[in-house]
Amino acid sequence: MQHIAESTGGRFLSHGPIVEIDHISIDSRVNEYGAYDLFIAFRGQNHNGHDFIPELIKKGVKNFIVEEDVEAVENINIIKVTTSVKALQTLATVKRKRFISPVIGITGSNGKTIIKEWLYDILSTRFSVLKSPKSYNSQIGVPLSVWPIGPEFNMGIFEAGISQPGEMEKLASIISPTIGIFTNIGTAHEEFFDSQNQKVSEKLKLFKDSEALVFCMDHELIARQINESFIGEKIGWSFNGKGVYNVELKEGHHLAIRKGTEQYTFSVNLKDKASLENIVHCIITSLVLGVKTQDIQEGIDRIQPIKMRLELKKGINRSYLIDDTYNNDVAGLHKALDFMDQQKHVSNKTIILSDFIQNKHSKTFYTELNQLLLQKNVNRLIGIGPQLSQHKQVFDLPATFYTNTESFLQSDEIHQFQNELVLIKGARQFALEKVSKLLAEKGHKTVLEVNLDAITHNLNFYRSLLKPDTKIMVVVKALAYGSGSEEVSKMLEFHKVDYLAVAYADEGVALRKNGVTLPIMVMNASDDDPFNLMRFNLEPEIFSLEQLKSFTEAYALADRELQAHLILNTGMNRLGFNPEDLDQLIDYITSNKSIKVKSVFTHLAASEELEHSDFTKDQVDKFRSGAQKIEDALAYKPIRHILNSGGIVRHNSFQEDMVRLGIGLHGIEVSHLKDGDLQNTAYLKTVISQIRYVKSGETIGYGRSGVAKKDMKIATIAIGYADGYLRVFGNGNAFVVIQGQKAKTVGNICMDMSMVDVTGLNANVGDEVVVFGENPSVSQLADWAGTIPYEILTNVSNRVKRVFYTE
Ligand SMILES: *Cc1c(COP(=O)(O)O)cnc(C)c1O
């Protein structure tokens, strides 16, 4: 403590034990204090740190720096200084001076914190790095960040931010960077600076003693001042060929960086300009520090865990495709193979794989690759590229090899795909999209994209509302609310839901034909269906005595047990047994041993609506007494269930043994109590077929109802009422989104096409058009049409191709 008093020019108000200080704190709320901590008290605007001293002493703090007169305390070190901030800064500066390893200082208007975090991710495998926590870059944040520096570190990364002239000198002496990064200059904090120039020159003061400075030459103001006044090594880089390092963004997310004759390539998954600029700062600083390109690449991969979109779509000859023709890295391959392995409904699996271009691999690599493919149940490999071809001997599965994509496209093998799942995974250079185009089912460009991750999220959300042993039946009627019942059901099976429900027997048959093995309840099975029900192991909902009798007789003929789900009508008045029917029902069941009651349930008429809560409770009471009556007559206990999606949220206490989840899985929270907790799952998208300019006074479409009141730019889009885009959406009653911009409909919706107003918008032939998704949402469309989201979803016609993806 003695040297602390000396270096800060303070004087002891009272003395305590002699200790080395470990930790400095300024926040009295953090209570991890000990005898080796130093608390620095500030006089703040709303808060005075000095008031907390007695409390902190009780917690065990023995060392204080204060700027106000406080009472001396026996056995406690209290040093009084003129200003606490200055004392803190001085202490950090002293610590920094003893540190000899490289220190990186970062300033500029934007990107400081991101660059610091990314650099940390890249450098921390090679160096033991101390970095500023969060965005600690102020007059107090900086010294607190620097203070812990010591021999256990061999690199420091700190950011500095200023809001007015005069502040940077202090931060410069605390951080004293050996290498600097000047990110860019923006317009924030304008009021305290006379000009942009002054702002740059103030910020540059951070680097007055630095050996090297990394900056982007394309920011002219920064480049000019650095050239004029910075004396160390100027490491300017540029996207325009002007720098010491010149950077080019190549196709397929590759950055080519050139310095004289040296050339480096990195694969980055960033698109926006600001992120690219930030990552280049990190890469060049790492190169300057002598980090190997491979280590830098690994660091970059850690920064942005590959967000890879995997799509499952229908291919030619009853095949399926999963297609990722943009990049090929090992982590991505693992993910794609897992996704392929999950698709249990197709037993034959082929992978079309290109060479990995990032680095050359040894034989061991290919041996491991062979193992991986076998382990993930791949049946056939088509390898494309010289490196895979060269290692063909290591592969144990049926495999063919081509040195390039063209020779594969010209081979006979390309015409031989059928009844299989084909994973296409290749680096951009190999242009495997040519292969996927050939193998994809041709069709109309309007697609319903279904986000399987969002469905999983929503399922987990509803699960989180249930007691651990409440079962889930997922209702996948009407193509799983339009999304695609087979694929969604396969996924639900993977996520281990307990039951599925469909409306009609054919829907259940289709699921069984696709290999779904979960128990399936059929809600509206008729007298014609027993044969199909038995053959495909489907379980009927039973709603009347006549129906039960006819089923029982059919099942008896086949000597089969009837697995029945009894529905009680408690107020919905759709299907089901009324309370007065129960005695007869029970008599019949107890005298027919071939009937097994799997479940007893009811359906709520208005579960999502608060105003009908009393009615709902009445339904529940009626159900419970009916169910009890049935159970009392049976020697076993059937599953009880009541709640649909709205009910799970609004009437959570009526979970019984199972719930029936429907629309909620698709991101629509009908009770509106938990709107923000679900994710959107379905995106209806189409394309612009043609753009035309119409003159004021012309009309657009059938019936001439769309009238151009001014000169207009009109886009014709490839969706109409036959696809499920309702006619009421015409004449400006709805908008679509093109490149993030809203475009209202004009004129009547046609059967297969619609016209939208793109006057003044950037919209071109072939552009993607979002019909629904996040914006506008299905609920929004339902509002426009005066209907409910269920109808919008289930209206998307069969002609619209479903594409399933996971990220
Ligand atoms: C459709 C249906 C459900 C699912 O309802 P959601 O409101 O979509 O959750 C549940 N039970 C029965 C009987 C149904 O017909």
Summarised one tens digit per residue, pLDDT across range 778-805 is 999 999 999 999 999 999 998 898 989 8
Is pLDDT larger for residue 276 or for residue 541?
541
Task: Give the nearest ligand 1 atom to 503 CA.
Answer: 15
Considering the four listed CATH numbers 3.30.460.10, 3.30.300.20, 3.40.1190.10, 3.40.50.2000, the one that applies to the domain covering 88-302 is 3.40.1190.10
Decide which of 275 and 544 is more confident.
544
Confidence of residue 283 (pLDDT cuts 50, 70, 90): very high
- Token pair of 37, please? 């901590």
Predicted TM-score of the model (pTM): 0.61
Expressed in angstroms and rounded, the spacing between residue 553 Cα and the centre of ligand 1 is 29
For residue range 322-341, list pLDDT tens digits in order.
988 766 777 678 888 988 88
Q: Which of 79-88, 194-203, 655-664 has the lowest mean pLDDT?
A: 194-203
Q: Is 2.60.40.1180 the CATH classification of the domain at 2-82? A: no
**Ligand 1 atom with the shortest distance to the CA of 660:** 10
Tell me: the pLDDT tens digits for 28-45?
765 566 778 899 999 877
- Ligand 1 atom nearest to 567, measured from its CA: 13
Ligand 1 and 458: CB distance under 6 A: no
> Terminus-to-terminus CA distance in the chain, angstroms?
55
Q: What is the mean pLDDT of residues 77-99?
A: 94
The verdict on whether 203 is a catalytic residue reads no
Average pLDDT over residues 771-775: 96
CA 659–ligand 1 middle distance (angstroms): 10
Substitution candidate for ligand 1 out of 574, 643, 660, 668 with most atoms within 8 A of CB: 660
Q: Hey, which of 603, 658, 793 would you mutate to test ligand 1's pocket, going by the most ligand atoms within 8 Å of its Cβ?
A: 603
User: What superfamily does domain 450-674 belong to in CATH?
Assistant: Alanine racemase (3.20.20.10)
Closest CA to 552 of 539, 561, 543: 561
Range 556-573 average pLDDT: 95
How far is the C-alpha of 539 from the C-alpha of 545, rounded, in Å?
Answer: 16
- Could you tell me the two tokens for 142? 């900086």
Q: Of 97, 513, 637, 702, which is the active-site residue?
A: 702
Q: Note the pLDDT of residue 306.
A: 46
Note the pLDDT tens digit of each residue in 680-712. Answer: 999 999 999 999 999 999 999 999 999 999 999
Whether 647 is in the pocket of ligand 1, judged by its Cβ within 6 Å, is no
Distance CA 452, CA 806 (A): 5
168 is in an annotated binding site: no
Percent of the chain scoring above 90 in pLDDT: 72
Look at residue 806 in the predicted model and tell me its pLDDT: 85
User: Is any ligand 1 atom within 6 A of the Cβ of residue 646?
Assistant: yes
Measure the CA–CA gap between 539 and 555, rounded to whole angstroms. Answer: 12
Confirm or reject: Cβ of 76 under 6 Å from ligand 1: no
CA distances from 310 to 327, 334, 383 (A): 12, 12, 20
Binding site membership of 474 for ligand 1 (Cβ less than 6 Å)? no
Q: What is the pLDDT of residue 132?
A: 86
**Residue 402 annotated among the catalytic residues of the structure:** no
Q: CATH number for 315-441: choose from 3.90.190.20, 3.40.50.2300, 3.40.720.10, 3.40.640.10.
A: 3.90.190.20
Residues 488/489/495/500 CA torsion (nearest 10 deg):
130
Mean pLDDT check: name the lowest of 299-303, 514-518, 560-564, 727-731: 299-303
Asked whether residue 359 carries a pLDDT value surpassing 60, the answer given is no
Closest by CA to 222, choosing from 258, 179, 279, 182, is 182
How far away, in angstroms, is 148 Cα from ligand 1 center?
60
390-406 pLDDT per residue, tens: 999 999 999 999 999 99
Q: Which residue has the higher pLDDT, 722 or 25?
A: 722
Q: Is 641 a pocket residue for ligand 1 (Cβ < 6 Å)?
A: no
**Hey, what CATH topology would domain 682-806 get?**
Lyase, Ornithine Decarboxylase; Chain A, domain 1 (2.40.37)
Contact residues for 783 (Cβ-Cβ < 8 A; gap 6+)? none
Contacts of range 648-652, beta carbons closer than 8 Å, 24 or more positions apart? 648/462, 648/465, 648/466, 649/465, 649/608, 649/673, 649/674, 650/607, 650/608, 650/609, 650/610, 650/613, 650/616, 651/604, 651/607, 651/613, 651/616, 651/620, 652/465
Give me the mean pLDDT over the 638-663 stretch: 97
Q: Which of 799, 802, 804, 795 has its CA nearest to residue 481?
A: 795
Question: What does the pLDDT look like over 162-186, one tens digit per residue?
Answer: 888 889 999 999 999 999 999 998 7
Distance 568 CA to ligand 1 centre (A): 15
As a whole number, the mean pLDDT across the chain is 91
What pLDDT score does 304 carry? 56
- Where in the chain are the domains? 2-82, 88-302, 315-441, 450-674, 682-806
- Is residue 574 part of an annotated ligand binding site? yes
pLDDT digits (tens, 9 = 90+) for 721-751: 999 999 999 999 999 999 999 999 999 999 9
Query: Tell me, what's the pLDDT at 440?
Result: 86
Nearest CA to ligand 1 atom 6: 662
Region 575-590 average pLDDT? 97
Q: What's the pLDDT tens digit per position in 549-561?
A: 999 999 998 899 9
**Looking at the predicted structure, is the pLDDT value of residue 357 above 80?**
no
Other CB atoms within a 10 A radius of the CB of residue 770 amount to 19
Q: Which ligand 1 atom minimizes the distance to the CA of 664?
A: 9
Q: Is the CB of 650 under 6 A from ligand 1?
A: no
Residue 58: which pLDDT band, with cuts at 50, 70 and 90? confident
Which are the contacts of 3, defined by CB distance < 8 A and separation ≥ 6? Answer: none
d(C-alpha 732, C-alpha 745), whole Å: 5
Report how far ligand 1's centroid is from the alpha carbon of 603 (Å).
8
Tell me the sheet residues that pair with 735: 744
What is the distance in A from the centroid of ligand 1 to the CA of 789?
13
pLDDT for residue 12 is more than 80 = yes
Instruction: Give 686 or 527, the one with higher predicted confidence.
Output: 686
Q: Residue 419, Cβ neighbours under 10 Å: how many?
A: 11
- Cβ-in-10-Å burial (0-12, 13-18, 19+) of 730 comes to buried
Among candidates 476, 497, 498, 475, which has minimal Cα distance to 487?
A: 476
- Residue 659 CB–ligand 1 contact under 6 Å: no
